[in-house]
Amino acid sequence: MKIKIQAKELQRLKKTHLNKFKKFGYMNLVVVNGDVLIHIPSVIDSRKFYLEVTDKNLKFTYKIAAEAITEGVVGININKFLDAIKNFKKGEVEIELQDNILCFSGSGIKTKIDCEVNTNIDYQKFDDNQYKNTVIIPNISELISKVYYTLESEVDINGNYKNMCGILLKIKDKNISVIGANRFCLAIYKQPYVEICDDIELFVHLDVVNLLKNVEGDICLKFSNKSNENIKKIMFVGSREIIQSEEPGKFINYKDMMERIAESNTNSFCFIREDLMAQLKNIRSVVGKDIKVRIDINSKDGNAVISLYNYHITEMELKVACESDDDFSYVFDLDYLLATVNAENELKITFYYGFNEHNLLIKDNDNFTQYLFSYIKSNKKQIEIIDI
């Protein structure tokens, strides 16, 4: 097996895909029919999830921009491969299999790694015949990027997912929506969908989301069921990618979460987005992770005081202008409040609330809606504390 590839393509591949593959440990480099492919074999993810979600038999094949010289298949440790290519920054790189040794050379640099020849892999077993339904999803990476912040920092030190570990993809009423959620916030982004198809509601696992996040342009979703309910086997096919998974799992009952929001959100308070963002970043720059901030709103002087919750550090009390008709206090997870504010595009950010709710609604237009959950909400008459 022998290929030639530009160093910049190797480094791009490292950034967009290979770093995400490291947890799988192993990949196949395949040269067949003039194509150069990276293939991740069947994977069963055995981690425990905060919500009962699993993806079984996840397979991924990616076509890379390289010149195929001779065909072959080789099994590679991904970390060793990443280490081997890290010093190739420019020019052309030649990769050749010689007696179970994968040799890299180019621009005066030579390196090699041990590997094993694997001629019995399943990269050719993606059979379109088992997928009866096809839907085109436009600009999949743009859709995902709108709600991706709800999925970040979701893995604890033991490798277990803390909160949600995927998104919900939904096609209904001539709209396509993506929904992301965790214990602190819920985000819904939708856009018009012109294709004619039945309603679809499909969970997309975080591992698949991370792959789709780098797909350029449209992607074709194929699934096996004759009906669109309880889809068991799916395949995403892009210009370079083939992603296949079985038993995609379940998404949180987000409709129940939305019902926690007051039916009438006529009450509100408002910040200049950049001013609020600047003060939150000031706090983030000097504190660690998993910090809660308290926002005390004073309607009389038109200001809100932002401070650390359960910390007695008066130097961290910062003021920001706020328009409100009522006095309230809220406590939020700092990182998710930052991410929520950052996701907005308007000059002003308005939080809508119900008087008896811990939940805030942010809706800057008909396409993007965010729900933010507070640990505490209080006014002069009552103080309520909840455990999220």
287: domain CATH number? 3.10.150.10
d(CA 75, CA 248): 27
Considering the domain architecture, whether residues 81 and 148 belong to the same structural domain is answered as no
Count how many domains the chain has: 3
The per-residue pLDDT for 371 is 81
- Structure confidence by residue, pLDDT tens digits, 172-201: 889 999 998 877 778 889 999 988 888 888
d(CA 93, CA 91): 7
Say yes or no to pLDDT of 33 above 90. Answer: no
Q: 242: domain range?
A: 126-256
| 347 phi, psi to nearest 5 deg | -65, -45
The per-residue pLDDT for 6 is 94
The per-residue pLDDT for 339 is 86
The amino acid present at 222, given as its one-letter code, is K
d(CA 284, CA 280): 6
The per-residue pLDDT for 129 is 63
Say yes or no to pLDDT of 386 above 50. Answer: no
Considering the domain architecture, whether residues 268 and 347 belong to the same structural domain is answered as yes
Query: Among 297, 294, 314, 315, which residue's Cα sits nearest to residue 306?
Result: 294
The amino acid present at 277, given as its one-letter code, is M
* Domain termination site, one of 70, 104, 124: 124
- Structure confidence by residue, pLDDT tens digits, 42-95: 554 433 333 333 344 567 788 888 999 998 888 888 899 999 999 999 999 999
Quick one: DSSP state of residue 126?
-
Quick one: DSSP state of residue 149?
G
Considering the domain architecture, whether residues 140 and 109 belong to the same structural domain is answered as no
- Structure confidence by residue, pLDDT tens digits, 98-119: 988 999 999 999 999 988 655 4
Considering the domain architecture, whether residues 340 and 238 belong to the same structural domain is answered as no
Section 200-222 average pLDDT: 84
d(CA 304, CA 341): 16
Q: Beta partners for 241?
A: 62
Considering the domain architecture, whether residues 343 and 362 belong to the same structural domain is answered as yes
Q: What's the predicted TM-score (pTM) here?
A: 0.74
Considering the domain architecture, whether residues 118 and 130 belong to the same structural domain is answered as no
Cβ atoms within 10 A of the Cβ of 227, count? 8
Helix (H) or strand (E) holding 383: strand 383-385
Q: Beta partners for 244?
A: 59, 235
* Domain termination site, one of 70, 105, 124: 124
d(CA 376, CA 332): 8
Considering the domain architecture, whether residues 351 and 289 belong to the same structural domain is answered as yes
Considering the domain architecture, whether residues 273 and 365 belong to the same structural domain is answered as yes
Q: Beta partners for 59?
A: 244
Considering the domain architecture, whether residues 265 and 381 belong to the same structural domain is answered as yes
Q: Beta partners for 182?
A: none
2-6 and 92-98: which strand pairing? antiparallel
* Domain termination site, one of 124, 156, 190: 124
d(CA 301, CA 111): 67
Considering the domain architecture, whether residues 250 and 130 belong to the same structural domain is answered as yes
Considering the domain architecture, whether residues 41 and 143 belong to the same structural domain is answered as no
C-alpha torsion sign, points 263, 268, 274, 280: negative
Considering the domain architecture, whether residues 151 and 114 belong to the same structural domain is answered as no
The per-residue pLDDT for 266 is 65
